[in-house]
Amino acid sequence: MEKIKKIGVLTSGGDSPGMNAAIRAVVRAGAYHNIEVFGIYQGYKGMIENNIKLLSPRDVSNVLHRGGTFLKTARSEEFKTQEGRKIAYENLRKNEIDAVVIIGGDGSFKGANQFSKEFAIPVIGIPGTIDNDMYGTDYCIGYDTALNTVVEAVDKIRDTAGAHDRLFFVEVMGRDSGFLALRSGIASGAEAVLIPEKETIIDDLKKYLANGYNKKKSSGIIIVAEGDDAGGAYKIADLVKKDFTNYDIRVTVLGHIQRGGSPSAFDRNIASQMGINAVQGLVDGKSNVMVGLINRNIVYTPLEQSAKHNKRVNPTLLSTIDILNSY
């Protein structure tokens, strides 16, 4: 591989707190290695539209604490076509960009992997998703911040649940995974957690409410991941209401509040580490890999293996919820 002189960096897919910290790290690590870094605005869409600008270390001052992504993100149907990817590649060549760092999730990495193989351009991925569902890393950028946002919100909901003797079904993000729901459920003392990885049997939930919860508490919280197989918080709440007309049941969908906010210190730290090591990986000749953090050590995982469906929920987390509510 020829010496890399110019790197492009983009954010793709859903935004997550800490993406700006990762961009900052890539730009400043590039400067450290005497490599120019170009910001590609609006993800793959910007690559196709040649919305590409040189970033200096000064350009990424005062972004560390900001949520979202100043490079913006957008979906691109055109990039899914070979013609669209060819236009994107030609724009990279116009700017003399030798390699690309992609900050995003599963779909972003699939596109990057295909793009790299078609045009022989080195790419490295940095996992940025609040779902924390990427294989090859213990933590994705944004997960810790989102987790704390959920816990803070649930703590406040519990206050009003207790004041009115209400049972709240709180829906959190997690279309295909329950990592956010599980951890937030444990941290907030939820009475039950419903996730896509485990079949939700409504009759079992009703039995728990009748025999366990109803005898011990007058108010409570049930966390529901949006992708739960039973249909989400509103549908589950309606099913429970049919048999428990005496319950004062409420539903809260936290929605996109989970994606926003200033990133936590933890997310800023791992974003900085991953950004630096993404550049280092390119300098060392790596390509088509995702940089991750496992057991506090930086690792590189092939993009083909980093798909979210390869990462499994730890079954002990499920039993933790049951044990904590078994008294």
From residue 97, give the alpha-carbon distance in Å to each of 36, 50, 142.
Answer: 9, 12, 28
Q: 90 and 116 share a domain?
A: yes
Report d(CA 152, CA 313) in Å as an integer. Answer: 23
What is the count of structural domains for the chain? 2
Domain assignment present for residue 26? The answer is yes
DSSP tag of 66: -
Report d(CA 26, CA 59) in Å as an integer. Answer: 12
The pair of three-digit structure tokens given for residue 169, joined into one six-digit string: 């079904």
Report d(CA 267, CA 67) in Å as an integer. Answer: 11
Residue 327 has pLDDT above 70, yes or no: no
Active site residue 248: no
Which DSSP helix (H) or strand (E) runs through 88?
A: helix 82-94
Residues 24-66: tens digit of each pLDDT: 999 999 999 999 999 999 999 999 999 999 999 999 999 999 9
Q: 11 and 134 share a domain?
A: yes
pLDDT for the residue 324 = 86
Domain assignment present for residue 158? The answer is yes
Count of positions (residues) in the chain: 327
Q: 287 and 185 share a domain?
A: no
Residue numbers of the domain that contains 67? 6-142+263-308
Which DSSP helix (H) or strand (E) runs through 9?
A: strand 6-11
Domain assignment present for residue 52? The answer is yes
Which DSSP helix (H) or strand (E) runs through 120?
A: none
The pair of three-digit structure tokens given for residue 282, joined into one six-digit string: 């390119």
The pair of three-digit structure tokens given for residue 31, joined into one six-digit string: 């400067």
Residues 255-306: tens digit of each pLDDT: 999 999 999 999 999 999 999 999 999 999 999 999 999 999 999 999 999 9
Residues 150-200: tens digit of each pLDDT: 999 999 999 998 888 889 999 999 998 999 999 999 999 998 999 998 888
Catalytic residue among 15, 98, 106, 131: 131
Query: How many alpha carbons fall within 13 Å on the CB side of residue 275?
Result: 30
pLDDT for the residue 27 = 98
Q: Is 93 exposed, middle or buried (0-12, 13-18, 19+ CB in 10 A)?
A: exposed
Beta bridge partners of 221: 168
Give the CATH number of the domain where residue 227 resides.
3.40.50.460
pLDDT for the residue 312 = 84
Q: 149 and 169 share a domain?
A: yes
Q: Are the C-beta atoms of residues 146 and 180 closer than 8 Å to each other?
A: yes
Long-range contacts, 238-244 (Cβ 8 Å, 24+): 239/202, 240/167, 240/169, 240/202, 240/205, 240/206, 240/209, 243/206, 244/206, 244/209, 244/210
